Structure 1
Amino acid sequence: MLITPGISTVASTIQTAIAPVFLLAGLGAILNVLAGRLARIVDRVRTLEQLHPRSTGPEHDRHVWELRILDRRITVINAALSLCVASAVMISLVVAMLFVAELVKLKIGTVVASLFIAAMLALVAGLILFLVEVRISLRAIHVRAELLERDRA
């Protein structure tokens, strides 16, 4: 005879899963920001790749310098994206495991907790890398002195 879970059991499991589901929604927003930053970096790289062969002297050196910084930013933001996606996958597994454990009466609380902790660590690492990428971009952004025309003031 097939035993099905009661409505109260399912409702209780849904309540338990609400926090991780909200966390997934927040992670979706973070992933959107990271992907947007990556897209802007790639657009800038493509622009510089077109300008690079025609540039000479200080302009060429500036293009090479900026391309190196952009390459580093791509590496860092890609790692941040990967860690945040890994976190989202682990949180999704936590939600699924909560339901499976309740339906088949598995005692896997330690596994679920460990997976949630791993997800949080991956998220923290991804956010730290995001901060690193923002810091790299801010250090690289400056207006060239000749464009500021300070000698005219």
Structure 2
Amino acid sequence: MQVATVSTIAQTIQLSLSPVFMLAGISGLLNVLAGRLSRVVDRARALEALHPRSTGPEHDRHVWELRLLDKRIWVINAALFLAVSSAILTCTVVALLFVAELADLKFGTYVALTFILAMVCLIASLVAFIVEVRMSLRAVHIRAELLEHS
């Protein structure tokens, strides 16, 4: 194992800055997803409390919304899993950069594949996020009977 020079370490730090910025973006996404999950769970709990006391069309609306909320929880959970996986893979990229440089190992292909996998997870997380946003818009749609003039 060779002793790394300060300039070699500085170059490795520079190489790792892009993945570190990516981690900052992922942390913002995780914050948004966790906030959305919290609001969905709160709404589901509120509807679960109203459900037994409702009847007729109101009951049907509660059941419909509870089913939608259940799907949204699943999608947000998948997005969170994918974002966290992306963050873990990104951290692995940074660690691999340093290990490869310090131990003079030639596994650039593994570093590249790990980064590509991190990006795929991030892309999938963002797709799940937009799917969940679209699902949430279905629940916010204002019913026609409420828009009629009385």
Q: TM-score normalised to the size of structure 2?
A: 0.96
Letter in 1 for 2:25: G
1:91 aligns with 90
Give 2:111's aligned amino acid: V
* Residue 39 (str. 1) matches residue 38 (str. 2): yes
**Equivalent position amino acid for 1:92 in 2:** C
What is the alpha-carbon distance in structure 2 between the residues aligned to residue 26 and residue 79 of structure 1? 18
Question: Matched residues in 2 for 1:128 and 1:18: separation?
Answer: 25
In structure 2, distance between residues paired with 1:144 and 1:109:
56
CA distance in 1 between partners of 2:140 and 2:2 (Å): 63
Q: What value does the CA root-mean-square deviation take over the aligned residues?
A: 1.2
Rounded to whole Å, the distance in 2 between the matches of 1:140 and 1:114 is 40
Give the letter aligned to residue 13 of structure 2: I
What residue is the counterpart of 2:58 in the other structure?
A: 59
Letter in 2 for 1:71: D
Letter in 2 for 1:23: M
User: How far off its partner does 1:147 sit?
Assistant: 3.0
Number of the residue aligned with 1:27: 26
Offset at residue 3 of structure 1 (A): 4.7
| Equivalent position SS for 1:151 | coil
How far the C-alpha of 1:10 sits from its partner, in A, is: 0.5
Cα distance in 2 for partners of 1:50, 1:62 equals 14
Deviations 1:86-138 (CA, angstroms, capped at 9, x unpaired) = 00000000000100110100101000000000000011011001011111111
- Tell me which residue corresponds to 2:111: 112
TM-score by length of 1: 0.94
Distance 2:146 2:44 in 1: 22
Q: Which runs of 5+ in 1 are unaligned?
A: none
Q: Distance in 1 between matches of 2:135 and 2:76?
A: 11
**Which range moved further: 129-138 or 3-12?**
3-12
Query: How far apart in 2 are the matches of 1:27 and 1:142?
Result: 30
- Seq. identity, %: 64
How many residue pairs get matched? Answer: 150
* CA distance, structure 2, for counterparts of residue 146 and residue 90 of structure 1: 50
